[in-house]
């Protein structure tokens, strides 16, 4: 008999799953998105409003700890661009600094308090310490919001027999 877990309050109906075939996918909980000196804070433009963003980390940490205890697979994603920005589309670059309703003082690739914003290998690109990946957990680097587009996430999930995904994180739209 295979082991099962259940989330009885899931919407639109209770969700039952086999933990051996399920992964918790943590989307983009990076310093650039949740730390006060990162890209997200610069985009927001209001320290008071942005202060609530960091609060999500504790809730995600609880979900991560529960998932690890249940034996779920864990996937972490990080949005970031190549050092030479060759994967940054012109429209995305333009949109970041030219939004008439935005508060952008810096754009992707420019130098911020934690290095170049949303650039792989920079301090801000890193996952926050509270949610640091363990050895063997999947880490997917991507240049946009989609975790499956132009990545090997699908192949890695298939290779581990993962058929069910639970999502949490930031920029999850």
Instruction: Give the domain ranges of the chain.
Output: 17-169
Q: Give the per-residue pLDDT at 100.
A: 67
Q: Give the per-residue pLDDT at 66.
A: 96
- In this predicted model, what pLDDT tens digit does every residue of 31-62 receive, in sequence order? 999 998 888 887 777 888 888 888 899 999 99
Whole-prediction pTM value? Answer: 0.91
- In this predicted model, what pLDDT tens digit does every residue of 79-112 receive, in sequence order? 999 999 999 998 888 877 776 666 667 889 999 9
Neighbours of 31 (CB within 10 A): 22
Q: Helices marked H in 51-170 — which ranges?
A: 56-70, 90-98, 153-159
Q: Give the per-residue pLDDT at 101.
A: 67
3-state secondary structure of 168: strand
Name the architecture of domain 17-169: 3-Layer(aba) Sandwich (3.40)
Q: Residues 9, 14, 15, CA angle at the centre, nearest 5°?
A: 115
Q: Give the per-residue pLDDT at 2.
A: 67
Position 172 confidence tier, pLDDT thresholds 50, 70, 90:
confident
> Which region among 42-46, 63-67, 116-120 has the lowest average model confidence (pLDDT)?
42-46
pLDDT at residue 74 greater than cutoff 70: yes
- Contact residues for 173 (Cβ-Cβ < 8 A; gap 6+): 145
From residue 73, alpha-carbon distances to 54, 132, 165 in Å are: 24, 14, 9
Residue predicted with more confidence, 48 or 161: 161
pLDDT at residue 173 greater than cutoff 80: no
Site of tokens 């980390």 = 57
Q: Give the per-residue pLDDT at 106.
A: 80
pLDDT at residue 1 greater than cutoff 60: no
Positive or negative: CA dihedral 83, 88, 94, 97? negative
- In this predicted model, what pLDDT tens digit does every residue of 126-158 receive, in sequence order? 999 999 999 999 999 999 889 999 999 999 999
């Amino acid at each position: 008999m295979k082991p099962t877990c259940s989330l009885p309050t899931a919407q639109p109906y209770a969700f039952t799953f086999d933990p051996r075939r399920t992964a918790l996918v943590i989307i983009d909980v990076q310093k650039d998105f949740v730390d006060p000196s990162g890209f997200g804070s610069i985009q927001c433009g209001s320290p008071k409003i942005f202060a609530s963003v960091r609060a999500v980390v504790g809730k995600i940490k609880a979900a991560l700890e529960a998932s690890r205890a249940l034996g779920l697979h864990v996937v972490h994603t990080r949005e970031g661009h190549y050092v030479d920005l060759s994967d940054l589309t012109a429209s995305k670059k333009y949109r970041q600094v030219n939004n008439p309703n935005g508060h952008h003082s810096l754009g992707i690739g420019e130098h911020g308090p934690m290095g170049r914003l949303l650039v792989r290998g920079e301090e801000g690109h890193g996952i926050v310490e509270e949610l640091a990946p363990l050895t063997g957990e999947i880490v997917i680097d991507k240049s946009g919001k989609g975790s499956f587009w132009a990545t090997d996430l699908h192949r890695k999930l298939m290779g581990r027999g993962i058929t069910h995904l639970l999502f949490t994180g930031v920029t999850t739209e």
